[in-house]
Amino acid sequence: MKPKVFISIATAEIGGPGKGLLQFFKCGGMEKCTPLITGFGRYDQQPGVFEATVKNYNFPFVRLIQSITYDPRLVFQSLRIIKDFKPDILQSHSYKSHVICFCLKIITGTPWIAFFHGWCTGGFKIKLYKYLDKFLFGFADRVVVVSNGMASGLNKRWIGKNKIYTIYNAVDPNEYALTDSTSNIREQYGICSSAPLIGVVGRFSHEKGHCYFVEALPQIIKKIPGLKVLFIGDGPLQEEIQQQVDQSGLKSHVIFTGYQSNVQNFYREIDLLVLPSLSEGMPNVALEAMLFGKPVVATRVGGVPEVVVDGETGILVDSQNAEQLSAAVIRLFKHPEMLRDFGVSGRERVLSEFNPEERVKKIAALYEEVLATKMKFQQEKSYTKGESSE
Domains of the chain: 4-170+355-389 (3.40.50.2000), 175-353 (3.40.50.2000)
Residue 78 pLDDT grade (very low, low, confident, very high; cuts 50, 70, 90): very high
Residue 216 pLDDT grade (very low, low, confident, very high; cuts 50, 70, 90): very high
The sign of the dihedral angle between the CA atoms of 183, 187, 190, 196 is positive
Position 122 pLDDT exceeds 70: no
For residue 184, the model assigns a pLDDT of: 87
Measured torsion, CA atoms of residues 367, 363, 100, 55, in degrees rounded to the nearest 10 = -110
User: pLDDT tens, 260-275?
Assistant: 978 999 999 999 999 9
For residue 92, the model assigns a pLDDT of: 97
Position 22 pLDDT exceeds 80: yes
User: pLDDT tens, 169-197?
Assistant: 999 998 887 666 567 899 999 999 999 99
Q: Do the Cβ atoms of 255 and 274 come closer than 8 Å?
A: no
Q: How many residues does the chain have?
A: 390
Under the phi-then-psi rule, with left for phi > 0, alpha for psi from -120 to 50, and beta for the rest, what region is 178? alpha
For residue 71, the model assigns a pLDDT of: 87
Q: Which of 288, 274, 300, 255 is nearest to 213 (CA)?
A: 274
Contacts of 320 (CB under 8 A, 6+ apart): 209, 212, 278
Contacts of 44 (CB under 8 A, 6+ apart): none
For residue 388, the model assigns a pLDDT of: 54
For residue 384, the model assigns a pLDDT of: 62
β pairing state of 228-232 and 164-166: unpaired
Residue 374 pLDDT grade (very low, low, confident, very high; cuts 50, 70, 90): confident
CA dist., res. 264 & res. 352, Å (int): 20
User: pLDDT tens, 24-50?
Assistant: 999 999 999 999 999 999 888 888 889
For residue 178, the model assigns a pLDDT of: 65
User: pLDDT tens, 289-316?
Assistant: 999 999 999 999 989 999 999 999 999 9
Provide the mean pLDDT of the chain.
Answer: 91
User: pLDDT tens, 351-361?
Assistant: 999 999 999 99
- In the DSSP assignment, the letter for residue 310 is B
Residue 121 pLDDT grade (very low, low, confident, very high; cuts 50, 70, 90): low
For residue 293, the model assigns a pLDDT of: 97
CA dist., res. 283 & res. 150, Å (int): 12
User: At residue 243, what is the residue type?
Assistant: Q
User: pLDDT tens, 232-251?
Assistant: 999 999 999 999 999 999 99
Residue 390 pLDDT grade (very low, low, confident, very high; cuts 50, 70, 90): low
Q: Which of 253, 195, 197, 244 is nearest to 221 (CA)?
A: 253
The C-alpha angle with vertex 95 and arms to 89 and 99, in degrees rounded to 5, equals 55
Q: Do the Cβ atoms of 163 and 143 come closer than 8 Å?
A: yes
Under the phi-then-psi rule, with left for phi > 0, alpha for psi from -120 to 50, and beta for the rest, what region is 176? beta
Which segment of 211-225, 285-299, 375-389 scores lowest on mean pLDDT? 375-389
> Average pLDDT, stretch 75-82?
96
